[in-house]
Protein backbone atom coordinates (compact mmCIF):
# COMPACT_ATOMS: atom_id res chain seq x y z
CA UNK A 1 0.00 0.00 0.00
CA UNK A 2 1.42 3.37 -1.03
CA UNK A 3 0.58 6.66 0.57
CA UNK A 4 3.05 9.17 -0.88
CA UNK A 5 5.52 9.88 -3.64
CA UNK A 6 9.23 9.05 -3.56
CA UNK A 7 11.34 11.34 -1.40
CA UNK A 8 14.92 12.53 -1.43
CA UNK A 9 15.88 11.75 2.17
CA UNK A 10 15.63 13.73 5.41
CA UNK A 11 16.22 17.45 5.37
CA UNK A 12 17.61 19.64 8.11
CA UNK A 13 16.48 22.94 9.55
CA UNK A 14 13.20 24.39 10.78
CA UNK A 15 11.41 23.53 7.52
CA UNK A 16 12.62 19.93 7.40
CA UNK A 17 10.19 17.51 5.80
CA UNK A 18 8.83 14.69 7.97
CA UNK A 19 10.86 11.50 8.09
CA UNK A 20 9.31 9.05 5.63
CA UNK A 21 8.79 5.52 6.98
CA UNK A 22 7.90 2.25 5.28
CA UNK A 23 6.37 -0.47 7.51
CA UNK A 24 6.86 -4.19 6.79
CA UNK A 25 5.00 -6.75 8.90
CA UNK A 26 2.76 -9.64 7.95
CA UNK A 27 0.24 -8.74 10.67
CA UNK A 28 -2.04 -5.99 9.39
CA UNK A 29 -3.30 -5.18 12.88
CA UNK A 30 0.21 -4.45 14.13
CA UNK A 31 1.03 -2.41 11.04
CA UNK A 32 -2.07 -0.33 11.69
CA UNK A 33 -1.09 0.25 15.31
CA UNK A 34 2.46 1.25 14.42
CA UNK A 35 1.19 3.51 11.64
CA UNK A 36 -1.17 5.31 13.98
CA UNK A 37 1.65 5.87 16.46
CA UNK A 38 4.18 7.04 13.91
CA UNK A 39 1.74 9.34 12.11
CA UNK A 40 0.93 10.97 15.45
CA UNK A 41 4.39 12.58 15.43
CA UNK A 42 4.73 15.86 13.54
CA UNK A 43 8.15 14.90 12.16
CA UNK A 44 7.32 11.35 10.99
CA UNK A 45 4.94 10.05 8.33
CA UNK A 46 4.23 6.51 7.11
CA UNK A 47 4.41 6.42 3.31
CA UNK A 48 3.72 2.73 2.72
CA UNK A 49 3.02 -0.70 4.19
CA UNK A 50 4.25 -4.13 3.11
CA UNK A 51 3.02 -7.56 4.17
CA UNK A 52 6.26 -9.41 3.39
CA UNK A 53 9.91 -8.87 2.56
CA UNK A 54 9.53 -8.98 -1.21
CA UNK A 55 6.89 -6.25 -1.14
CA UNK A 56 9.04 -4.23 1.26
CA UNK A 57 11.97 -4.25 -1.16
CA UNK A 58 9.76 -3.27 -4.08
CA UNK A 59 8.15 -0.41 -2.17
CA UNK A 60 11.51 0.77 -0.82
CA UNK A 61 12.81 1.08 -4.37
CA UNK A 62 9.69 2.95 -5.47
CA UNK A 63 9.21 5.25 -2.47
CA UNK A 64 12.80 5.80 -1.29
CA UNK A 65 11.81 6.07 2.39
CA UNK A 66 14.18 7.43 5.01
CA UNK A 67 13.55 4.45 7.29
CA UNK A 68 12.21 0.94 6.71
CA UNK A 69 10.81 -0.73 9.83
CA UNK A 70 10.59 -4.46 9.32
CA UNK A 71 9.77 -7.61 11.26
CA UNK A 72 12.03 -10.65 10.83
CA UNK A 73 9.62 -13.55 10.44
CA UNK A 74 7.35 -13.01 7.45
CA UNK A 75 6.10 -15.39 4.75
CA UNK A 76 8.25 -15.76 1.65
CA UNK A 77 11.12 -13.28 1.79
CA UNK A 78 11.79 -12.59 5.48
CA UNK A 79 12.92 -9.34 7.07
CA UNK A 80 16.61 -10.24 7.15
CA UNK A 81 16.70 -11.10 3.45
CA UNK A 82 14.79 -7.92 2.64
CA UNK A 83 17.21 -5.90 4.77
CA UNK A 84 20.20 -7.32 2.94
CA UNK A 85 18.65 -6.53 -0.44
CA UNK A 86 17.71 -2.98 0.53
CA UNK A 87 21.09 -2.22 2.06
CA UNK A 88 22.94 -3.63 -0.96
CA UNK A 89 21.04 -1.43 -3.42
CA UNK A 90 23.15 1.66 -4.26
CA UNK A 91 19.99 3.59 -5.10
CA UNK A 92 18.81 3.10 -1.50
CA UNK A 93 22.01 4.20 0.19
CA UNK A 94 20.14 6.90 2.11
CA UNK A 95 17.53 4.44 3.39
CA UNK A 96 18.06 3.01 6.88
CA UNK A 97 16.57 -0.25 8.16
CA UNK A 98 15.23 -0.76 11.68
CA UNK A 99 14.41 -4.32 12.76
CA UNK A 100 11.35 -4.41 15.03
CA UNK A 101 10.64 -7.95 16.17
CA UNK A 102 9.40 -10.24 18.91
CA UNK A 103 12.47 -12.46 18.52
CA UNK A 104 15.29 -10.60 20.27
CA UNK A 105 17.95 -13.30 20.07
CA UNK A 106 21.69 -12.70 19.79
CA UNK A 107 21.77 -14.63 16.53
CA UNK A 108 19.09 -12.47 14.93
CA UNK A 109 20.80 -9.26 16.06
CA UNK A 110 24.09 -10.40 14.54
CA UNK A 111 22.41 -11.44 11.29
CA UNK A 112 20.62 -8.10 11.12
CA UNK A 113 23.90 -6.20 11.53
CA UNK A 114 25.59 -8.29 8.87
CA UNK A 115 22.66 -7.61 6.54
CA UNK A 116 23.16 -3.88 7.04
CA UNK A 117 20.43 -2.95 9.54
CA UNK A 118 21.03 0.22 11.51
CA UNK A 119 19.08 -0.88 14.57
CA UNK A 120 17.33 -3.75 16.30
CA UNK A 121 14.55 -3.37 18.87
CA UNK A 122 11.78 -5.52 20.35
CA UNK A 123 8.07 -5.03 19.81
CA UNK A 124 7.69 -4.43 23.52
CA UNK A 125 9.30 -1.01 23.15
CA UNK A 126 7.31 1.93 24.50
CA UNK A 127 5.65 4.36 22.11
CA UNK A 128 8.13 7.17 22.68
CA UNK A 129 10.97 4.72 22.31
CA UNK A 130 9.82 3.73 18.84
CA UNK A 131 9.53 7.35 17.73
CA UNK A 132 13.01 8.09 19.08
CA UNK A 133 14.33 4.95 17.36
CA UNK A 134 13.13 6.16 13.97
CA UNK A 135 14.79 9.53 14.53
CA UNK A 136 18.02 7.91 15.67
CA UNK A 137 18.18 5.58 12.70
CA UNK A 138 17.37 8.37 10.24
CA UNK A 139 20.25 10.45 11.62
CA UNK A 140 22.69 7.73 10.57
CA UNK A 141 23.36 6.45 14.07
CA UNK A 142 22.96 2.91 15.34
CA UNK A 143 20.31 2.05 17.90
CA UNK A 144 22.26 -0.71 19.64
CA UNK A 145 23.18 0.10 23.21
CA UNK A 146 26.87 0.05 24.23
CA UNK A 147 26.34 -3.17 26.21
CA UNK A 148 24.60 -4.87 23.29
CA UNK A 149 27.31 -3.75 20.89
CA UNK A 150 30.08 -5.17 23.09
CA UNK A 151 28.45 -8.55 23.70
CA UNK A 152 27.00 -9.18 20.25
CA UNK A 153 29.94 -8.02 18.18
CA UNK A 154 32.45 -9.85 20.34
CA UNK A 155 30.45 -13.08 20.07
CA UNK A 156 29.29 -13.10 16.47
CA UNK A 157 31.15 -10.53 14.39
CA UNK A 158 34.69 -10.80 15.74
CA UNK A 159 37.30 -12.63 13.71
CA UNK A 160 38.36 -15.89 15.44
CA UNK A 161 41.76 -15.67 17.09
CA UNK A 162 43.24 -18.35 14.81
CA UNK A 163 42.01 -16.69 11.62
CA UNK A 164 43.82 -13.72 10.01
CA UNK A 165 41.75 -10.49 9.98
CA UNK A 166 40.02 -9.74 6.69
CA UNK A 167 41.08 -6.72 4.63
CA UNK A 168 43.22 -4.96 7.27
CA UNK A 169 44.46 -2.70 4.45
CA UNK A 170 41.03 -1.01 4.50
CA UNK A 171 42.25 0.94 7.52
CA UNK A 172 45.16 2.50 5.61
CA UNK A 173 42.98 5.45 4.59
CA UNK A 174 42.36 6.43 8.20
CA UNK A 175 44.44 8.86 10.23
CA UNK A 176 45.72 7.64 13.62
CA UNK A 177 43.02 9.67 15.37
CA UNK A 178 40.30 8.25 13.12
CA UNK A 179 41.49 4.72 13.87
CA UNK A 180 41.34 5.53 17.54
CA UNK A 181 37.78 6.79 17.19
CA UNK A 182 36.67 3.72 15.23
CA UNK A 183 38.15 1.45 17.89
CA UNK A 184 36.26 3.29 20.62
CA UNK A 185 33.03 3.18 18.62
CA UNK A 186 33.53 -0.59 18.32
CA UNK A 187 33.57 -0.95 22.11
CA UNK A 188 30.07 0.50 22.20
CA UNK A 189 30.89 4.01 23.40
CA UNK A 190 28.67 6.88 22.28
CA UNK A 191 30.10 10.11 20.88
CA UNK A 192 29.56 11.81 24.23
CA UNK A 193 31.35 9.00 26.10
CA UNK A 194 34.24 9.11 23.64
CA UNK A 195 34.43 12.88 24.02
CA UNK A 196 34.63 12.56 27.81
CA UNK A 197 37.35 9.93 27.56
CA UNK A 198 39.42 11.81 24.97
CA UNK A 199 38.81 15.33 26.39
CA UNK A 200 37.28 16.45 23.11
CA UNK A 201 33.97 18.01 22.18
CA UNK A 202 31.18 15.69 20.97
CA UNK A 203 31.14 17.73 17.74
CA UNK A 204 34.83 16.94 17.13
CA UNK A 205 34.27 13.26 17.83
CA UNK A 206 31.28 13.16 15.49
CA UNK A 207 33.36 14.79 12.74
CA UNK A 208 36.13 12.18 13.12
CA UNK A 209 33.63 9.31 13.14
CA UNK A 210 31.80 10.62 10.08
CA UNK A 211 35.06 11.00 8.15
CA UNK A 212 36.02 7.45 9.06
CA UNK A 213 32.62 6.19 7.93
CA UNK A 214 33.05 7.98 4.61
CA UNK A 215 36.55 6.62 4.03
CA UNK A 216 35.51 3.08 4.91
CA UNK A 217 32.27 3.31 2.93
CA UNK A 218 30.27 2.42 6.04
CA UNK A 219 26.53 3.12 5.94
CA UNK A 220 26.34 3.83 9.68
CA UNK A 221 27.98 3.17 13.04
CA UNK A 222 26.79 -0.44 13.09
CA UNK A 223 28.78 -1.19 9.94
CA UNK A 224 31.72 0.76 11.34
CA UNK A 225 31.70 -1.62 14.32
CA UNK A 226 31.66 -4.65 12.02
CA UNK A 227 34.61 -3.30 10.02
CA UNK A 228 36.61 -2.63 13.19
CA UNK A 229 36.33 -6.27 14.22
CA UNK A 230 36.71 -7.78 10.77
CA UNK A 231 39.91 -5.85 10.05
CA UNK A 232 41.43 -6.71 13.42
CA UNK A 233 41.41 -3.11 14.69
CA UNK A 234 39.60 -4.43 17.76
CA UNK A 235 40.09 -7.96 19.05
CA UNK A 236 37.02 -10.13 19.47
CA UNK A 237 38.12 -11.27 22.90
CA UNK A 238 38.60 -7.72 24.12
CA UNK A 239 36.59 -6.75 27.17
CA UNK A 240 36.38 -2.95 27.15
CA UNK A 241 36.13 -1.09 30.41
pLDDT of res. 149:
58
Average pLDDT over residues 198-218: 91
Q: With cut-offs at 50, 70 and 90, classify the pLDDT of residue 6.
A: very low
Closest CA to 47 of 65, 31, 70: 65
Nearest to 151 by CA among 122, 187, 124, 119: 187
pLDDT tens, position by position, 59-110: 999 999 999 999 999 999 999 999 999 999 999 999 999 998 887 777 787 7
Q: What is the DSSP letter of 92?
A: G
pLDDT at position 124, please? Answer: 81
Q: Which of 3-7, 103-107, 110-114, 161-165 is predicted least confidently?
A: 3-7
Question: Which one has a higher pLDDT value, 192 or 167?
Answer: 192
- Look over the chain and give the mean of its residue pLDDT values, rounded to a whole number: 82
Q: Report pLDDT digits (tens) over 171-192.
A: 899 999 999 999 998 877 778 7
For residue 211, pLDDT over 90 is answered with yes
Pick left, alpha or beta for residue 164 (phi over 0 → left; psi -120 to 50 → alpha; otherwise beta).
beta
pLDDT band at 219 (very low <50, low <70, confident <90, very high): confident
Which residues, 6 or more positions from 188, have their beta carbon under 8 angstroms from its beta carbon?
144, 145, 146, 147, 148, 149, 150, 240
Question: Which of the pair, 39 or 203, is modelled with greater confidence?
Answer: 39
Nearest partner of 119 among 106, 105, 129, 134, judged by Cα: 134
Task: Identify whether the C-beta of residue 78 lies closer than 8 Å to the C-beta of residue 21.
Answer: no
Is the model's pLDDT at 53 over the cut of 80? yes
Domains of the chain: residue spans and CATH: 19-143 (3.40.50.2300), 150-230 (1.10.10.10)
N-terminal to C-terminal alpha carbon distance within the chain: 47
The predicted pLDDT at position 12 comes to 46
Quick one: pLDDT at residue 43? 96
d(CA 233, CA 178): 12
Amino acid sequence: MIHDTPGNGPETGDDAAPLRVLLADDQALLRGAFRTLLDSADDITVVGEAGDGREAVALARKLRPDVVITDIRMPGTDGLAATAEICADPDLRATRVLILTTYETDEYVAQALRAGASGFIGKGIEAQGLLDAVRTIASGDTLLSPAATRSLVARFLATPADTPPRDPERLAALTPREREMVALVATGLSNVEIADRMYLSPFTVRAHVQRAMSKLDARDRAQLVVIAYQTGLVAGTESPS
